[in-house]
Amino acid sequence: MYTEKVMDHFQHPRNMGEIENASGVGTVGNAKCGDIMRIYLDIDDDQIIRDVKFKTFGCGAAVATSSMATELVKGKSIQEAMAITNKAVMEALDGLPPVKVHCSLLAEEAIHAALWDYAEKH
């Protein structure tokens, strides 16, 4: 049912945790399943995402997509990060079952919310 990459990122999530005094924080909820996700971004003066962490109450698919999404945005500019879609994240994981696609939206939405939070503060 799940690809090797999904299982790997589920069992060994990258960048799980919090960032104190983050440059931007995004919290989103999933209306379909009631799960929540929070992404923390640390953005430097050159507008490069130096660090990123996530926390979620979501399922294995939410954990795996967040883990992959944080890897994809780390080291990127704000513009590059904005362009990363949940489709790109799912492709990097070699796919997700259709019933789990809505879970993957959490990571994309939380990253956008965190970038928005950063933009509002700057």
The site for ligand FES (CB under 6 A) is made up of 30, 33, 35, 58-59, 61-62, 103, 106
Q: Report the C-alpha gap between 110 and 76 in whole angstroms.
A: 16
Cβ-based neighbours of 120, under 8 Å, separated by 6 or more: none
Q: Report the C-alpha gap between 82 and 97 in whole angstroms.
A: 25
Binding site for a second copy (CB under 8 A): 1-2, 10, 33-36, 56-62, 97, 99-100
Residue whose CB is less far from a second copy, 99 or 120: 99
Instruction: Confirm whether 33 is a catalytic residue.
Output: yes
21 binds, among a second copy, ligand FES, none (CB under 5 to 8 A by kind): none
36 binds, among a second copy, ligand FES, none (CB under 5 to 8 A by kind): a second copy
Give the shortest CB-33-to-a second copy separation in angstroms.
Answer: 6
Answer for the pair 37, 58: CB distance below 8 angstroms, yes or no: yes
Nearest CA to 72 among 99, 104, 101? 104
Amino acid residing at 57: F
Give the shortest CB-81-to-ligand FES separation in angstroms.
Answer: 21
